[in-house]
Amino acid sequence: MSREPAVKRWAAKRKAAVVMDIFKGKTTVTEVARENDLTVSEVESWIEEAQRNMENGFRSWPKDIREQYEAELRETREALGEAHLQIYALKKFKRLLDEDENS
């Protein structure tokens, strides 16, 4: 009986195929774990992730993960820019106060 070499990194497409086989009843979590030298909890985490992401696919306006991250990045950059301006203004104000005290 030839056994496939252990997969070190599972691509999303391959995980999805395995999870679909489990959903369809073609295999079980235990079988997948045993055949691929994985723990049952690893395979179960794939199933949980698939179920979480599946919900998004049924929404009328799915949340695009990339858009979410890009929006968060924009907000973070804006906040950083504002903080930078505040620091610059405070330093300038302090210099002006120090000059005023020394005059």
Exposure of 16 by Cβ count < 10 A (0-12 exposed, 13-18 middle, 19+ buried)? middle
**pTM, to two decimals:** 0.51
Give the Å distances, CA to CA, from 97 to 15, 44, 91, 93, 100. 63, 63, 10, 6, 5
Same-domain status, 82 and 51: no
Same-domain status, 23 and 53: yes
Cα-Cα-Cα-Cα dihedral sign, residues 57, 63, 64, 66: negative
pLDDT of res. 8:
67
Domain count, the chain: 2
Write out the residue range of the structural domain in which residue 59 sits: 9-63
Q: 9-67 pLDDT, tens per residue?
A: 889 999 999 999 999 999 999 999 999 999 999 999 999 999 988 877 776 666 677 78
Give the Å distances, CA to CA, from 39 to 36, 79, 81, 91. 9, 42, 46, 56
The answer to whether residue 4 sits within a structural domain is no
Same-domain status, 18 and 43: yes
Exposure of 38 by Cβ count < 10 A (0-12 exposed, 13-18 middle, 19+ buried)? middle
pLDDT of res. 30:
96
pLDDT of res. 54:
85
pLDDT band at 103 (very low <50, low <70, confident <90, very high): confident
The answer to whether residue 1 sits within a structural domain is no
Same-domain status, 80 and 59: no
The answer to whether residue 77 sits within a structural domain is yes
The answer to whether residue 3 sits within a structural domain is no
| Residues 6+ away with beta carbon under 8 Å from 56 | 62, 63
Same-domain status, 56 and 95: no
The answer to whether residue 44 sits within a structural domain is yes
